[in-house]
Amino acid sequence: MLLPSLFHSKFSLRALFLIFVLLTHHTASYTIPQRSQASVSFSELAYNDDNHPTPKPPVHFAVLLPRGFSALDVFGPLEVFQALSRTGPNSPQLRLSFLARSLNEPVTTEPPFQVIPNNLSPKNNDNSDPYLHPKSTDNSTSTFPLPPRGFHARLLPTHTYSVPPQSIDVLLVPGGAAARSPDLGTEIEFIRAVFPKLQYLITICTGAGIAAQAGVLDGRRATTNKAAWGVITAMGREVRWVSPARWVDDGKVTAGIDLAFAFIKAKYPNGTAIAEDIAGHLEHTIIDDWRDDPWADYYGVPPQN
């Protein structure tokens, strides 16, 4: 997973899970869909000779928009890829699509349930999620309708899950409150159906939990937001969750803003120079070490995988 820090702060270290997965305050990872029975790894894709041609760089990015998605998880990575699309006369001709259940109304970042901090201390020794909706007395999760509020972004989709665009190369799955929603069946089924056709799956932050529920991360290395580690990792018991990790690279899955830069370096001609130029314009310091993840220690998540 590649994980960028947009601002040098805890908020900026959200991880993206990209099978290639992207994450910022959270962590991310990425995976390459299987073209046959064989799985393609990141290192194999980067290898190039007459017998192992480098795949064409991805051009069509699509973003999953469940209700309650994190705005940063979407627009952090997109800022990087948008800059990639306009680096000069030879810029890759990238396409962007937004997917949702309906075209009739914009998708809101407003959670579908009340989100109430249940632990204001950053030190969650039990790895419980500090921003969960209320729970009932029997410790089962209960959701409560949220009254209309004004300070939420809304994004208009371009396609629906039932009529998606053709030839999606990269699917980006954001996290946020959406990852805890009990109503993700449509999104999970879409991820499960489209995954074999993708070049890369990118999950951002707790978006790794949504992808994990689809089963596409089973047996793969992935990471996620360390503040929500216990909650999200429970969504994928067969996933090889990695900590510490700013991002995780598993061939087809990856994550994070820094992951976005690593993705450009690995997948596009002259990618290193392009990534460094973009970072300079954004005034962003690229972290190349995927293990550079101070939040694992901060939240008490032990090393694994």
Please check the confidence at residue 110 and state whether its pLDDT lies above 70: yes
Domain count, the chain: 1
Average pLDDT over residues 256-276: 90
| Contact indicator for 182, 72 with CB cutoff of 8 Å | no
> How much of the chain exceeds pLDDT 90, in percent?
57
Task: Please name which of 51, 122, 181, 65 lies closest in space to residue 299, comparing C-alpha atoms.
Answer: 122
CATH of the domain at 83: 3.40.50.880
Pairwise CA distance, residues 229 & 209, whole Å = 10
Q: Is residue 9 domain-resident?
A: no
Q: Which stretches of 118-248 are DSSP H helices?
A: 185-194, 207-213, 229-233
Q: Is residue 303 domain-resident?
A: no
pLDDT of 151: 87
Interval 224-251: pLDDT, tens: 999 899 999 999 999 999 999 988 888 7
pLDDT of 90: 86
pLDDT of 55: 76
Query: In one letter, which amino acid is 295?
Result: W
Q: Is residue 153 domain-resident?
A: yes
Q: Is residue 304 domain-resident?
A: no
Q: Is residue 8 domain-resident?
A: no
Pairwise CA distance, residues 165 & 194, whole Å = 11
pLDDT of 282: 84
Q: Is residue 107 domain-resident?
A: yes
Higher confidence at residue 140 or residue 244? 244
Interval 86-108: pLDDT, tens: 988 888 999 999 999 999 999 99
Per-residue confidence at 147, pLDDT binned at 50, 70, 90?
low
Q: Is residue 293 domain-resident?
A: yes
Look up the domain containing 179 and give its range: 14-298
Higher confidence at residue 19 or residue 44? 19
Average pLDDT over residues 147-161: 87
Average pLDDT over residues 105-132: 63
| Contact indicator for 97, 159 with CB cutoff of 8 Å | yes
pLDDT, averaged across the chain: 78
Q: Is residue 6 domain-resident?
A: no
pLDDT of 188: 98
